[in-house]
């Protein structure tokens, strides 16, 4: 006999038609909405982080280009100033020469590529001598030029077929006589640009008049691009003309009313940044698409499970299944879940072992080249094959050796911890007299403790034999005493006590350092956990206590760190008595 549900109008109703079904549909929609919101938030977070990084890289690329242009402009200005000073000295040498024709030949041979002519003018601007041409046929210097010469050196264009024409003509006083005489040197402007600076470089006057231009410019820059409103000083500017955006650095030429410019196109400066755009897009969309796929799979699996549950309940309501059948199906589902959990636990164990093996392998592979780095850097530092040529090289070699040794120590710690955690370190408990090991460990730190005026006291009664591994005990003592020495201030104290507590041997090592707060004591011994201490800067990776506690547990003992912050640290090592 068919059973009609009270909420059905005609015939059997599906699970989604009853009131509970409406709740299920609402749950479906909420899960999908939640998944969509989470994916959107994840996409937004990655997009925001990537955009911030893009802006930072963009600014760094422009700043690097500006720094390069500024350095190039300063070098060009310095080299141009030295060149002009040398050419001015040649001009004065010509004026002071006795044998005019031979002196002219010597000067032209010295710098014939740059000097077009050398002429001498009197106080009224009339030319009285010239290396080439007829000086008396040249037109005199203008009154503004003479006025500028009264103030010092001048650079201006001069054009005259008699002695030569140049947009870059040096004018300066020839000697200290009165009335004064002036030297006029027409120069080839482009020859002043050093070969190393050929490209997007230029020489210009303070008014922005371009005198020499490198090969990298599409067109000569307008005067407003290079014009200095005040006295020329080293400056940077970003301008755009002829459809090209440029970074231009300006630098004054020492001793002359002239300035040098170096420029870079912003599209050239940002070429590497543009090349990284696909990577930025992948960082934005890659995680978002992955999250979307994971959310889709999770929602689908949830909906499948919920539909199966609804079908079971509906079948029970129509009498198709009894409650015992549903319980059996639930039990089957639980067994499958337990099997999956066991499989997941097995895989987690395998992953942990694989991690330990990988850590051990990579630490070993890295230590081998580090040994070579340390050895070669020490040979360089000591000058084994001869002097290095500069004291800084020996200093840097020492820094390299120190950093390599520090890295080697940290890799050794990681390797040892990986061996210990992965169970590759054999621990064989046997009867051990720990008194001699304690005394040996204390003697190892006495010298550095004495250098820092740290007192080390030890009170050892007649100690019983303990059941432990001798190598593990040595390692634990070394770790605890090294930490006590590291974190004890100069002039402090380190105390070692040993006693018997029923069937347990207790070794207590205390120091007068900062100690642990309750929160820190709860986390002490976790791998890669370090606490803020002045002495901890540049120290190891926080694996010492973790390794010591692990070794103590492997021997059937324990290592505890009781105490309070500000009262020093007490480390208690407990081992079973034989």
What does the pLDDT read at residue 13?
Answer: 39
What does the pLDDT read at residue 26?
Answer: 53
CA angle 335, 339, 345 (to 5 degrees): 140
Contacts made by residues 49-58, CB under 8 angstroms, sequence distance 24+: 50/280, 50/283, 50/284, 53/280, 54/273, 54/280, 57/273, 57/276, 58/270, 58/273
Dist. CA 257–CA 262, nearest whole Å: 17
What does the pLDDT read at residue 225?
Answer: 72
Dist. CA 157–CA 169, nearest whole Å: 6
State the chain's mean pLDDT as an integer: 75
What does the pLDDT read at residue 19?
Answer: 42
Tell me: the pLDDT tens digits for 67-81? 888 888 888 889 888
CA dihedral over 502, 505, 510, 515, signed as positive or negative: negative
What does the pLDDT read at residue 475?
Answer: 86
Using an 8 Å Cβ cutoff, are 203 and 188 in contact?
A: no
What does the pLDDT read at residue 1?
Answer: 37
Dist. CA 492–CA 475, nearest whole Å: 24
Tell me: the pLDDT tens digits for 53-70? 888 888 888 888 888 888
Tokens 């020495």 correspond to what residue? 485
pTM metric for this prediction: 0.44
What does the pLDDT read at residue 372?
Answer: 75
Query: Among the residues of 452-538, which ranges form H helices?
Result: 470-487, 518-523
CA atoms within 13 Å, Cβ hemisphere of 539: 18
Per residue of the chain (578 residues), what is the pLDDT tens digit? 333 333 333 344 344 344 444 554 455 557 777 777 877 787 778 788 888 888 888 888 888 888 888 888 888 889 888 888 888 888 888 777 744 555 556 665 666 678 888 888 888 889 888 888 888 888 898 888 888 888 888 888 888 888 888 888 889 988 777 788 899 988 888 787 766 555 688 888 877 788 888 877 777 787 777 766 544 455 788 888 777 888 888 888 898 888 888 888 888 888 888 887 788 777 777 777 777 778 777 777 777 776 666 665 655 555 544 555 555 555 555 556 556 666 777 787 777 677 667 766 666 677 677 777 877 787 877 777 777 777 777 787 788 877 777 777 777 767 666 666 666 566 778 888 888 888 888 888 888 888 888 888 888 777 788 888 888 888 888 888 888 888 888 888 888 888 887 788 888 888 887 777 677 776 776 776 666 665 544 455 667 778 888 888 888 888 887 655 556 788 888 888 87
Dist. CA 366–CA 360, nearest whole Å: 10
Tell me: the pLDDT tens digits for 258-307? 888 888 888 888 888 888 778 877 777 777 777 777 877 777 777 777 66
Using an 8 Å Cβ cutoff, are 179 and 122 in contact?
A: yes
What does the pLDDT read at residue 379?
Answer: 81
CA atoms within 13 Å, Cβ hemisphere of 461: 10
What does the pLDDT read at residue 549?
Answer: 84
What is residue 293's three-state secondary structure? helix
What is residue 566's three-state secondary structure? coil
What does the pLDDT read at residue 314?
Answer: 59
Exposed/middle/buried for residue 532 (C-beta within 10 Å: 0-12, 13-18, 19+): exposed
């Amino acid at each position: 006999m068919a059973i009609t549900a009270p909420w059905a109008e005609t015939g059997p109703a599906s699970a989604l038609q009853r009131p509970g079904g409406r709740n299920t549909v609402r749950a479906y929609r909420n899960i999908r909405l939640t998944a969509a919101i989470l994916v959107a938030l994840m996409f937004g977070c990655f997009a925001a982080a990537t955009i911030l990084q893009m802006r930072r890289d963009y600014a760094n690329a422009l700043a690097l280009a500006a720094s390069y242009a500024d350095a190039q402009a300063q070098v060009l200005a310095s080299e141009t100033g030295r060149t002009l000073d040398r050419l001015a000295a040649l001009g004065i040498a010509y004026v002071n020469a006795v044998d005019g024709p031979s002196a002219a030949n010597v000067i032209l041979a010295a710098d014939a590529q740059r000097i077009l002519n050398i002429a001498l003018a009197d106080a009224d601007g009339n030319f009285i001598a010239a290396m080439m041409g007829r000086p008396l046929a040249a037109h005199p210097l203008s009154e503004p030029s003479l006025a500028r010469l009264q103030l010092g050196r001048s650079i201006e264009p001069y054009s005259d077929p008699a002695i030569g024409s140049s947009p870059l003509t040096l004018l300066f006083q020839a000697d200290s006589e009165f009335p004064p005489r002036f030297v006029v040197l027409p120069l080839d402007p482009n020859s002043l640009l050093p070969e190393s600076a050929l490209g997007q470089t230029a020489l210009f006057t303070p008014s922005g008049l371009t005198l020499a231009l490198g090969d990298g410019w599409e067109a000569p820059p307008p005067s407003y691009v290079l014009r200095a409103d005040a006295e020329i000083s080293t400056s940077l500017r970003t301008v755009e003309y002829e459809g090209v955006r440029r970074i231009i650095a300006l630098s004054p030429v020492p001793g002359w009313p002239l300035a040098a410019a170096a420029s870079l196109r912003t599209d050239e400066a940002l070429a590497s940044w543009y090349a990284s755009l696909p990577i930025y897009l992948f960082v934005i969309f890659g995680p978002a698409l992955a999250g979307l796929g994971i959310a889709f799979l999770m929602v689908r699996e949830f909906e499948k499970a919920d539909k199966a549950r609804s079908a079971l309940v509906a079948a029970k309501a129509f009498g198709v299944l009894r409650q015992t059948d549903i319980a059996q199906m639930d039990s089957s589902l639980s067994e499958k879940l337990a099997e999956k959990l066991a499989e997941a636990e097995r895989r987690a164990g395998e992953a942990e072992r694989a991690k330990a093996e990988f850590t051990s392998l990579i630490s070993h592979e890295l230590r081998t080249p580090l040994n070579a780095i340390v050895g070669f850097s020490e040979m360089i530092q000591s000058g084994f094959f001869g002097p290095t040529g500069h004291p800084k090289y020996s200093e840097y070699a020492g820094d390299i050796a120190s950093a390599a040794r520090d890295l080697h120590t940290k890799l050794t710690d990681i390797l040892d911890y990986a061996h210990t955690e992965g169970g590759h370190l054999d621990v064989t408990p046997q009867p051990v007299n720990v008194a001699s090991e304690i005394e040996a460990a204390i003697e190892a730190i006495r010298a550095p403790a004495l250098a820092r005026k740290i007192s080390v006291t030890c009170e050892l009664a007649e100690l019983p034999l303990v059941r432990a591994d001798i190598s593990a005990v040595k390692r634990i003592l070394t770790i605890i005493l090294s930490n006590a020495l590291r974190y004890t201030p100069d002039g402090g104290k380190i105390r070692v006590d040993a006693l018997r507590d029923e069937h347990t041997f207790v070794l207590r090592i205390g120091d007068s350092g900062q100690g642990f707060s309750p929160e820190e004591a709860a986390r002490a011994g976790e791998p890669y956990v370090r606490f803020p201490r002045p002495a901890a800067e540049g120290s190891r990776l926080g694996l010492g206590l973790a390794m010591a506690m692990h070794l103590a547990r492997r021997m059937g003992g324990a290592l505890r760190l009781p105490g309070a912050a500000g009262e020093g640290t007490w480390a208690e090592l407990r081992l079973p008595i034989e």
